[in-house]
Amino acid sequence: MRFLRLCVLSLVLLAFVVPLVAAQDNSGAGLTIGFAQVGSESAWRTAFTDAVKAEAESRGINLLFSDGQQKQENQIAALRSFIAQGVDAIILAPIVETGWDEVLTEAKENGIPVIIVDRNVTADPSLWVTRVSSDFVHEGRLAAAWLVQATAGKCNIVELKGTVGSSAALDREKGFNEVIALFPDMHIILSESGDFTRTNGKEVMESFLKAVDPSTICAVWAHNDDMLIGAIQAMKEAGLDPANDILTISVDAIPDIFKAMMDGDANATVELSPNMGGPAFDAVVATLNGEVLPKWIPVAGGIYFPDTAAEEYAKRGGS
Ligand code: AHR
């Protein structure tokens, strides 16, 4: 009889307690999280900021947002201010790779976990929990592989690089160069940073078009869509027909590049998803719950061409 009672009691406990435990809230509601963003240099960056803010709001997270305005010193000051305010965690989208050890050590000493998003840092891995990001090297390889097949392995390329010292620029360059090195007639003839902005992309492309005979340029490889959109403007102003006279390949997959494809001005873009807020907040909650996370949480992306541009443009909120 006693045994039967025990069994019934266990079943009752299972029925009521287990669902309570299972329903544990992993949204991060009530947490205060500091987010140090790079700036607003590109349409992709703005979409990423908006996505993180929307995700925080939907989860009931109190997000302290800082726009670094493309300056590492602003980001370091933001991190120090988050530490002083005693936030539960910090999300850092670093502008450049180096120079983070000191401030990350301060966060660690104060028991504040740091999640890296998007670009990478060279700081000791013990100073940060995990990185939520795409694979920039793969993006570069994908861009080069498309260009190789589009040109049968023979092309003089001009390159618009991203921000100097940023892992997005360094790794995309590495991946692209790795692939074209396999083809003796694929050459980068001019290369300069356009700092991931539309204005600089246009200026640098204008200087390229003056530096060499434009008819010798086969393609422009831009580390982001914004610089390419600037370059498209420069080509048009120089009387060229972008995507026909000079092929284009870039990264991000923002609505404006799909518009450019629809207008016949761009050939291909490699996607960088701006939706990293969800996995970053999940990582914060997991680490605060004592879980051990992998050092990299990958975010996938594809490559897109004019055939689906109208569809992608509509899907991504182009208007
Ligand atoms: O770090 C990612 C890069 O930063 C994006 O490709 C670019 O648009 C942004 O400025």
- 182/40 same-domain check: no
**Atom in ligand 1 nearest the alpha carbon of residue 252:** 6
Q: Are residues 110 and 167 in the same domain?
A: no
Here the CATH number for the domain that contains residue 167 is 3.40.50.2300
Average pLDDT, the chain: 94
- Is 68 part of any domain? yes
Domain with 106, as residue range(s), is 25-134+274-288
**Ligand 1 pocket mutation pick from 49, 137, 224 by most atoms within 8 angstroms of CB:** 224
Which is it for strands 114-117 and 219-222: parallel, antiparallel or unpaired? unpaired
* Same domain flag for 267 and 278: no
The response to whether residue 160 sits with its C-beta less than 6 Å from ligand 1 reads no
User: 141 and 253: one domain?
Assistant: yes
CB 70 within 8 A of CB 163: yes
pLDDT tens figures, 206-239:
999 999 999 999 999 999 999 999 999 999 999 9
- Position of tokens 């443009």? 313
Q: Give yes or no: residues 105 and 142 share one domain.
A: no
pLDDT, tens only, 256-290: 999 999 999 999 999 999 999 999 999 999 999 99
Ligand 1 within 6 A of CB of 42 = yes
With a threshold of 0.85, does the pTM exceed it?
yes
Give helix 225-237 / helix 198-211 axis angle, nearest 10°. 50
Domain contains 264: yes
Tokens of 174: 């590495």
What integer pLDDT is reported at residue 248 of this predicted model?
99
Task: Examine the domain organization and report whether 118 and 183 are in the same domain.
Answer: no
Residues 215, 237 within the same domain: yes
- Quick one: 238 and 126 in the same domain? no
44 Cβ closer than 6 Å to some ligand 1 atom:
yes
Phi-psi region of 170 (alpha: psi -120 to 50; beta: other; left: phi over 0): alpha
Q: Dump pLDDT digits (tens) for 47-94.
A: 999 999 999 999 999 999 999 999 999 999 999 999 999 999 999 999
**Total domains in the fold of the chain:** 2
Distance between Cα 95 and ligand 1 center (Å): 9
Tokens 């990582």 map to which residue?
A: 283
Nearest Cα neighbor of 312 from 253, 240, 252, 235 is: 253
Closest-lying ligand 1 atom to the alpha carbon of residue 93: 1
Residue carrying the six token digits 């719950």: 289
User: 145: part of which helix (H) or strand (E)?
Assistant: helix 136-150
Question: Are 56 and 151 members of one domain?
Answer: no
Q: Does 194 lie in the same domain as 89?
A: no
